[in-house]
Structure 1
């Protein structure tokens, strides 16, 4: 009986610590500060860690680009992507993050990533080379 009481008291004492730890974990599983209404934020280009071309085996083939972008610290949040330009041989995409607009905001130095899939469609000429440019990082592929 005495052991049960000790265990119960230990669990009871640990509950506030667990509640505080859970409150520090964001919806996306990361920890640290996050931009909110308490300080101004700005939109900046995200660092690009990887660009992968996906070819879906349909007729005609469908293409997509999977972009892994960086979240340089605990305050950075993925803001979005937009197709900026498309020419006969080049597709330009911009990926952005939202970050604090001041260097005085304390952020954890935890590097995270975000993965986006951008559908490119099927209007590609077989055998022709195309280049996808995301925030200045280039990836070239040949259409099937």
Structure 2
């Protein structure tokens, strides 16, 4: 019986370590430091993992770009997106992250993502090709 009690007692330090690790995970699933933890931050272009064009069934059709941007480490946080330019056939969007302004800040090496939906509107000519450019990545579509 004494031997059986020792096994659960040996598990206590492991369970305590798991509880501490779980407490370090943020609501958004990220771990590690946050950009507002008392060190300077900067805004940088986010890596773009995917650009998808959504066509809403309306008259006239409405378009949106669903952009999946990367969060390269546990310190990176999505900052914003902005429509930078629009010409007759091209829409340029910038997506940014906020990151530490120093390489000396230790961040967990966990890659995360953020999804943004950017409404493009409905003023597209049917049959014309359009290109959405996000941080240099391109996605072309033909208007319906």
- Structure 1 length as normaliser, TM-score? 0.88
Secondary structure of 1:20 counterpart: helix
Is residue 127 of structure 2 the alignment partner of residue 127 of structure 1?
Answer: yes
Give the CA deviation at 1:66: 0.4
RMSD of Structure 2 on Structure 1 (CA): 2.2
Residues 16-53 of structure 1: per-residue CA shift (max 9 Å, x gap) = 54542232101201222221141000000000010000
**Is 1:29 aligned with 2:29?**
yes
CA distance in 2, matches of 1:21, 1:109: 15
Aligned to 2:113: 113
**Whole-angstrom distance in 1 between the partners of 2:101 and 2:23:** 24
Residue 58 of structure 1 corresponds to 58
Q: Structure 2 stretches of 5 or more lacking a match?
A: none
How many residues of Structure 1 are paired with residues of Structure 2 in the alignment? 141
What is the distance in 2 between the residues matched to 1:109 and 1:82? 27
Q: Which residue of 2 aligns with 1:85?
A: 85
Residue-by-residue CA offset, 1:51-105 (whole Å, 9 max, x unaligned): 0000011111000000000001111000010000111111000000000000000
